C-alpha cells in the first residue's frame, strides 16, 4: 500500500537512471541521512559513539571495500586486515610527517597508498582464481603484518611496537583522541562514509562496475566481449583497497586511538569483514551496512540485554553470546543464503503487494 510505484512516471533519462528511481526509496534514504546527520549528533553520547556507531560505520566501510572486490568483481580476498593496517600505518606516518596538512587529505592519501599496495598484491589475480587467490591474499595478510611488526620505522621505534594517534584537529574541531567530542568523531566518520558510499554506488552502476560484474559472472565471456581482465581486476583491487585503507585509517585514528599490528589487524579482522559481507549480502552496497550492523551491534545488544536486563553474570553472558551469535549466523545463512540485503529486497517486493497479496 505504502510501497507502490503506481503513477510514478519518468519523463527523462536522468530520472530513469536515478540511484533511487522509486520515490519511497528516496524519501526513506533522505530521511535516514537527515536523522543521521541532523538528529543523532545532538543526542549521541560517548558510549554510543565509541562503542557502537563509529565502529559500525568503520566496519561498514571496510565491508563496502571488500564487497567491491569480492561481491562485485568475484575475487576472494583474505587480506582485509592487512590492507586496513596499511591505511592505519600510512595515516600514522603521514600525520607524523605533515602535521599541518588537513587530516581529510591525509586519510585520502592513506587510501591511495593502500590502493597501490592492493594493486601489487592483486597482480596474482590475473593468473590464479578462486580459492587459490584467497591463499595468495593470505600471503599479503601475513607479510604486511609481519613487516609492520618488524620494522621499527613504521611504529616510530616505540618500545612496545604500538602506534598511538596524535591529537588532530579538523578545521579547528578535535576529531581524534579522547578530547574529541562524540559528535565530532561520529560526524567526521559519517561524512566520509556517506560520501564514499555514494561514490561506490555510482561506480558499480557505471561502466567500471559492469566490467567487474562481467568478470565475476564469467571471465572468459567478459574477455570475449572486450573487457580487459587486467584493467578490470586491478581497478577492483585498487578501489577496494582504497576503501579498506580509509576504513583502516579511521579504525585506528578515530575509533581505537592506538593499535598493535598483531591484535588490531590480524587474520581474524579479515574474517570479520568477510563475514560482514557474506551475512550482509555479496554484491550489495546495502549489504555491507546490514552485515556490519549484524556483526557489530548484535553482540553488544545481546550483552546488554543479558547482563543489564536479566542480570546474567558477565562471564556466562560472554559464553552465551558466542553461542548465540554462531547460531544466528547459521540461521540467517540457512533462511537466506544471499544475505540480509536479499531479505530486505524480498521484504520490499512483499510490501509492494501488501496488504492485498492476491
Partner 1 sequence: MNLRKLTGVAVAAVLALPMFASHANAYELVIPTLDYRTGPYAPNGIPLANAYSDYINLLNERDGGIEGVKIKHVDCETGYNTKKGVECYENIKNTAPSRALAVQPFSTGITYQLIPKSSVDEIPIFSMGYGRTSAANGKVFPWVFNFPATYWSQATALVQYIADQEGGMASLKGKKIYLVYHNSAYGKEPIRTLEALAEKYGFEYRGLPVDHPGQEQKATWLQIRKERPDWVLMWGWGVMNQVAIKEAASIRFPMDRFIGVWWSGSENDVLPAGEAADGYLSGTFHAAGGDFALHDDIRKYVYDKGMGAGDRDRIGEVLYNRGLVAVMWTVEAIRNAMKIHGTKEVTPAMVRDGFESLEVDEARLAELGLKDFTYGIKITCENHEGPGRVAVQQWDAKAKKWSMASKFYEPLREITAPLIEADSMAYAKENNVTPRTCS
- The nearer residue to partner 1, 172 or 311, going by C-beta atoms, is 311
E strand residue ranges, 131-245: 163-164, 169-170, 173-174
Helix axes 54-66, 229-250, angle to 10 degrees: 170
Q: Are 273 and 241 in contact (CB under 8 A)?
A: no
DSSP code of residue 123: G
Residue closer to partner 1, measured from CB, 178 or 226? 178
To partner 1, the closest distance from the beta carbon of 357 in angstroms equals 28
Nearer to partner 1, 229 or 257 (CB): 257
Q: Which helix (H) or strand (E) holds 323?
A: helix 314-335
Rounded least distance, CB 329 to partner 1, Å: 18
Residue 203 or 298 with smaller CB distance to partner 1: 298
- Cell numbers for 260: 598493535
Q: Where are the beta strands (DSSP E) in 33-84?
A: none
Which of 166, 205 has the CB closer to partner 1? 166
Taking the complex as a whole, the smallest distance from the CB of residue 240 to partner 1 amounts, in Å, to 23
The number of beta carbons lying within 10 Å of the beta carbon of residue 2 is: 8
CB nearer to partner 1: give 92 or 289: 92
- How buried is 75 (Cβ within 10 angstroms: 0-12 exposed, 13-18 middle, 19+ buried)? buried
Binding site for partner 1 (CB under 8 A): 46-47, 50-52, 55, 149, 158-162, 164, 166-167, 177-179, 256-258, 260, 262-264, 266, 300, 303-304, 307-311, 313-315, 317-319, 322
Minimum Å distance from CB 302 to partner 1?
A: 11
- Cα 184 from Cα 170, distance rounded (Å): 9
Rounded distance between C-alpha atoms, residue 201 and residue 206, angstroms = 9
Beta carbon of residue 194, minimum distance to partner 1 (angstroms, whole number)? 23
Shortest reach from residue 51's CB to partner 1, in Å: 4
Minimum CB–partner distance for residue 249 and partner 1 (Å): 17
DSSP 39: I
* Those residues with Cβ within 8 angstroms of residue 174's Cβ, 6 or more apart along the chain or in another chain: 167, 168, 180, 181, 184
Nearer to partner 1, 148 or 212 (CB): 148
Amino acid at each position: 500500500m505504502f510501497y507502490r510505484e503506481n503513477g510514478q512516471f519518468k519523463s527523462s533519462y536522468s530520472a530513469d537512471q536515478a540511484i533511487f528511481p522509486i520515490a519511497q526509496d528516496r524519501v526513506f534514504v533522505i530521511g535516514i541521512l537527515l536523522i543521521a546527520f541532523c538528529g543523532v549528533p545532538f543526542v549521541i553520547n560517548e558510549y554510543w559513539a565509541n562503542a557502537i556507531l563509529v565502529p559500525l560505520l568503520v566496519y561498514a566501510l571496510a565491508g563496502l571495500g571488500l564487497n567491491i572486490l569480492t561481491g562485485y568483481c568475484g575475487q576472494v580476498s583474505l587480506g582485509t586486515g592487512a590492507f586496513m593496517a596499511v591505511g592505519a600505518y600510512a595515516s600514522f606516518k603521514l600525520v607524523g610527517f605533515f602535521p599541518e596538512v588537513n587530516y581529510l587529505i591525509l586519510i585520502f592519501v592513506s587510501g591511495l597508498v593502500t590502493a597501490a599496495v592492493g594493486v601489487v598484491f592483486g597482480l596474482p589475480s590475473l593468473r590464479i582464481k578462486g580459492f587459490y587467490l584467497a591463499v595468495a591474499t593470505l600471503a599479503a595478510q601475513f607479510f604486511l603484518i609481519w613487516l609492520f611488526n618488524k620494522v621499527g620505522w613504521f611504529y616510530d621505534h616505540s618500545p612496545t611496537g604500538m602506534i598511538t594517534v596524535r591529537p588532530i584537529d579538523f578545521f579547528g574541531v578535535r576529531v581524534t583522541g579522547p578530547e574529541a567530542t562524540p559528535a565530532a568523531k561520529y560526524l567526521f566518520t559519517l561524512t566520509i562514509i556517506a560520501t564514499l558510499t555514494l561514490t561506490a554506488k555510482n561506480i558499480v552502476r557505471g561502466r567500471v562496475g559492469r566490467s567487474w560484474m562481467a568478470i565475476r559472472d564469467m571471465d572468459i565471456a567478459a574477455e570475449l566481449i572486450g573487457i580487459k581482465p587486467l584493467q578490470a581486476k586491478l581497478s577492483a583491487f585498487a578501489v577496494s583497497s582504497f576503501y579498506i585503507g580509509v576504513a583502516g585509517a579511521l579504525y585506528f585514528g578515530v575509533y581505537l586511538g592506538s593499535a598493535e599490528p598483531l591484535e588490531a589487524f590480524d587474520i581474524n579482522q579479515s574474517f570479520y569483514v568477510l563475514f560482514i559481507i557474506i551475512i550482509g549480502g555479496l554484491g550489495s552496497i546495502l549489504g555491507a551496512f546490514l552485515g556490519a550492523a549484524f556483526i557489530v551491534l548484535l553482540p553488544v545488544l545481546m550483552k546488554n540485554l543479558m547482563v543489564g536486563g536479566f542480570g546474567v553474570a558477565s562471564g556466562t553472558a560472554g559464553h552465551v553470546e558466542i553461542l548465540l551469535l554462531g547460531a544466528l549466523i547459521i540461521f540467517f545463512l540457512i533462511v537466506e543464503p544471499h544475505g540480509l540485503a536479499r531479505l530486505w529486497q524480498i521484504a520490499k517486493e512483499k510490501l509492494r503487494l501488501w496488504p492485498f497479496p492476491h
